Amino acid sequence: MKNKIIDLFCGCGGLSRGFEEVGFEVALAIDMWQDAIDTYNFNSSQKVAKCLDIHNLTNEMLLDYKESGVIGVIGGPPCQGYSTVGTRDINDPRNHLYKEYCRVVETIRPKFFVIENVKGLLTLSNGMFKNDIIKRFTKLGYKVEFKICNAADYGIPQRRERVFFVGMQNKKFSFPKGSDEIITTKDALSDLSPLTPKNGDSLFSKYFSKPVNDYQKLMRANNGQTVQNHQITHHTAQTIGVISLIPDGGTIKDLPEKYWNIRKYNKAFERMDSNKPSNTVDTGHRNYFHYEQNRIPSVRENCRLQSFPDDFVILGSKTSQYKQVGNAVPPILAKEIAKEIKKQLN
C-alpha cells in the first residue's frame, strides 16, 4: 500500500472516505463505538476499523505501523466538551484526548496530520486548547495551520462550520479555496421518495425521479435502483399539525405565540429552506423539518446533506444511525482537504 494513513476517532468513516477517494489507503481506523465501527467496515472493502480506546493503542503497535510506511494521521477527537451548545466544561475528559492524538503523531512522525473539531475549540478557556495544540505539534517539527471551513463552501448542501488543523513537516499547508456553487436542500433531496405512514417503513426505497442535477448524479453514481436508510419517523397528529404551520424556510416565530415556549431551544421548530443549504446536521435533527413534508429528515436525507453517497449504508438502530451521520465529517469536504494535502506533499 502507498500513502498509508491512520484514522483516529474514525466514527462511521466520513474522513476516511474522502481521503480514500484521492488515493490514500487507511491502514488502521479506531473508535470506541461499536456501531460506528460496524458501519465503517460494512462500507469498506478493507476491514481495517477496530473498536479500540486510543489509550490502548500502544506505542509498540504504533511503531509497527510506522515501519509499514504510514505517512499521515487524521481524525476528530470527540467534540462535545468544546461545543458551544454543550456545557463547555474545561475539565471534561474528552477535551484532552488530543494529547493522545499527539502521542500517536509523536511516535509515528508522519508527513502530515489532520485534526477536525467544532469551532468552539478555538475559544474555550480563552483559546487554551487551540494554543496548546499548535504548541505541541510545532514542538514536534510541524508547521500547523488551522481554518474554520464551512461545508457549504465546498459543494455540500449544509452550512456546517468546523475547524481543521493541518500540520506538515517543513511545509506550510494552504487550505483549498472551495467552490462558488451553492447546493440547496431541494437540490440534494428532491429525487428521494416522499415518505408517508403507508410507505415510510420499507427497508428499501425506490427513487422518486431520475437525478435532476449533478449533485444527485454524484450521490447515486455507484448505487442501484433503491436506497436504504430512508424511513419515516412517525409523528403524532398534533406534531404534524404544528409542523404544517411552518412555511418553507420558516421558524418557530411563524407559529402562533402559544407555541413559542414549548421547547426551550432557540432552534426549535425550524423548517429547511428549499433554496438554501441545510442547517448543520446534528445527531438527531428533532427540531428541523423537511422543506415540504411534515416530518423530520430521514437518515438517508441527512446522509445526502452530509455528502455520503447513496451506496453508503448506516447500520444500527435508527437513533444510532442519526448519531453516526451527525458526528461524521462530510466526505466531500474531507476529499477536498485530502486532495490539497496530496498535491502539496508532491
Residues taking part in catalysis: 79
Inter-residue contact 180 to 209 (CB < 8 Å): no
How far is the CA of 251 from the CAs of 183, 238, 242, 274, 286, in angstroms? 21, 17, 11, 14, 14
Task: Show Cβ contacts of residue 306 under 8 Å, excluding neighbours closer than 6 positions.
Answer: 14, 156, 158, 281, 325, 328, 330, 331
Closest CA to 339 of 179, 168, 175, 105: 175
Q: 270-271 and 288-289: which strand pairing?
A: parallel
Under DSSP, the state recorded for 59 is H
> How far, in Å, CA of 320 to CA of 199, rounded?
22
Quote the radius of gyration of the chain (alpha carbons, Å).
20
> How far, in Å, CA of 251 to CA of 233, rounded?
20
Inter-residue contact 346 to 257 (CB < 8 Å): no
Dihedral sign (CA 113, 119, 120, 126): positive
Burial class, 222, CB count within 10 angstroms (exposed 0-12 / middle 13-18 / buried 19+): exposed
Dihedral sign (CA 319, 329, 222, 225): positive
Listed in order, strand segments (DSSP E) in the chain are 4-8, 25-31, 49-51, 70-75, 112-118, 142-150, 161-169, 205-206, 226-227, 270-271, 288-289
Q: In the numeric block, which cell numbers belong to residue 17?
A: 472516505
Q: Which amino acid is at 58?
A: T
